[in-house]
Amino acid sequence: MIDYSQIPSPCYVLESEKLIENLELIDSVQKKAGITIILALKGFAMFSAFPIVKQYLQGTTASSLFEARLGREEFGGELHLYLLAYQEKEFPELIQGATHISFNSLSQWERFKEKTLLTQVSPGLRINPEYSPVEPEIYNPSSPLSRLGIRAEKLGDKLPEGIEGLHCHNLCESDSQALARTLEQIETLFGHHLPQIKWLNLGGGHLITSKSYDIEHLIEVLTRFKSRYPHLHIYLEPGSAVAWETGVLRATVLDLIETSNLIIAMLDVSFTAHMPDCLEMPYKPRIRGARDPQQKEPRYRMGGLTCLAGDFMGMGDYYFETPLQVGDTIVFEDMIHYTMVKTSMFNGIKHPAIGIVRSDGTFNLVREFGYEDYKSRLS
C-alpha cells in the first residue's frame, strides 16, 4: 500500500514493479514470436525508468530531434526515426547513431536520399494501409485525407532503389484482431513489395499488456505472417503498452464548489495541462475509491486548476462513499503513458512532480518543477 502522505502533490507516481511485469510480458511475446519490440518515446519517455526498460527492449523510436537525442543519450541500442517531415538544418544531427529511418513521402525520400545513403542507417517508407479500427478521428492515421504514410497507388509497382523497409502505423490501443486485419491489408496492397525489403515496422497501438488482450492470438498472427516472409525482421513499437497501468497521478482537493446538481472538486492538477488525453480522446479516467453515481446519490465533478472554462472532467461524474473534504487525496489511475509526454505549463500552473515507487515500497522523488521551468519556456 502506497503512503500518499509521503508523496508531494501533485505528482506522477510510477510503480516499478508493475512496469517490470509489463516488460516481462512484452519480452515473452518478442521471444515467442521471433520479433523485436522497441519503445516509442512519444508515449513514454520517463528516462529515469530507462535502466529498467532497456533490460528488456533493444531500442527506441523517435519522432523528433529531441526524442532522438534522448534515445541516444539515455537508452542506446537501436534508434528508429520517423518524422513527418525532415529539416535540412536538423538532419545531420538527427541521423547520428540511428539504425533505421522511415520517410513519410516519396518527395522526402528523394530530398534526403543522398545524405541517408552516406550513413549506416537502413531507410524505409511509411505506408498507409487504408484501414484503421480507431474511432476518434484525431487518432485515426488512415483516414482518406490522412497526411500519414504513402497510399498504394502513389507507391506504384516497384520500391525506389535503396529502400530496405516499410513502416505502418494505424492502430491506437488496439487488439490482435486489428493487427491481423492490418497485415491482411498490407499483403493485399503492398504484398508485391514485401520480397524486396529487409524489415517491416508495424508501429505502435498494440495494447499487449491490457488484461483483455489475446496474447496467444498475437503470437499466432505474427508467427503465421513470418512463415510467409521469413526474411523479414518484424518490429513493433508500442508506447502505451509499456507503461499501461503502471502508475498514477496523485492530486489534492483544494476547494469544493456546490452547484444545483453536483459538487465540483477543485484540484491542484489540470486536465488540459496534465491529462490532455482525457479531453482529446475524450475519456473518463478512473479514480481510486470512486465509482459512477447512481440516481439521487451525491455527484462530484473533477475541476482542473486553470482558468480555461473547459478544464474539467466532462465525460462523467463520480461518487465517493465518504464525502470529499478539502485536503483529501485524489488518485487518478493509469496516468503514466501519454501524460508526461504531453503536459504543458499553461496558465503558469505548476507541473506535477515525478517519482518512482520501487519494488521494496520506498518512494524515490525523481524531479520537482518550479518557476524557472515555467520561465525558461518563454522569453
pLDDT tens sequence across 267-296: 999 999 999 999 998 999 999 999 999 999
pLDDT at 137: 85
Asked whether residue 63 carries a pLDDT value surpassing 80, the answer given is yes
Q: What one-character-per-residue DSSP string does 220-251 give?
A: HHHHHHHHH-TTPEEEE--SHHHHTTSEEEEE
Asked whether residue 1 carries a pLDDT value surpassing 80, the answer given is no
CA–CA distance from 116 to each of 69, 72, 92, 109, 219 (Å)? 18, 18, 9, 9, 34
**DSSP state for residue 7 in the 8-state scheme:** S
- Burial code of 63-74, b = ≥16 C-beta within 10 A, e = fewer? ebbebbbbbbee
Out of 3.20.20.70, 3.20.20.10, 3.20.190.10, 3.40.50.1100, the CATH code matching 34-242 is: 3.20.20.10
d(CA 180, CA 175): 9
Q: Per the annotation, does 277 bind a ligand?
A: yes
pLDDT band at 148 (very low <50, low <70, confident <90, very high): very high
d(CA 270, CA 254): 12
Average pLDDT over residues 332-361: 96
**How would you classify the pairing of strands 353-357 and 247-258?**
unpaired
Task: Calculate the average pLDDT of the chain.
Answer: 96
User: What value does the CA radius of gyration of the chain take, rounded to a whole number of Å?
Assistant: 22
Q: Which three cell numbers stand for residue 48?
A: 529515469
pLDDT at 133: 94
User: Each residue of 355-366: pLDDT tens digit?
Assistant: 999 999 999 999
Asked whether residue 5 carries a pLDDT value surpassing 80, the answer given is yes
pLDDT band at 24 (very low <50, low <70, confident <90, very high): very high
Cβ proximity of 198 and 165 under 8 Å? yes
d(CA 206, CA 175): 6
d(CA 222, CA 33): 6
Instruction: Delimit the CATH 2.40.37.10 region(s) of the chain.
Output: 4-12+247-335+343-376
pLDDT band at 236 (very low <50, low <70, confident <90, very high): very high
Fold of 4-12+247-335+343-376: Lyase, Ornithine Decarboxylase; Chain A, domain 1 (2.40.37)
Q: Where are the beta strands (DSSP E) in the chain?
A: 11-15, 36-37, 39-40, 59-62, 78-83, 100-103, 122-127, 165-168, 199-201, 233-236, 247-258, 263-267, 290-291, 300-303, 319-320, 329-333, 353-357, 363-367
* Residue 293 φ then ψ, to 5°: -75, 145
**How would you classify the pairing of strands 247-258 and 11-15?**
antiparallel
Cβ neighbours of residue 144 closer than 8 Å, sequence gap 6 or more? none
Q: Which three cell numbers stand for residue 356?
A: 518512482
Instruction: Delimit the CATH 3.20.20.10 region(s) of the chain.
Output: 34-242
pLDDT at 136: 80
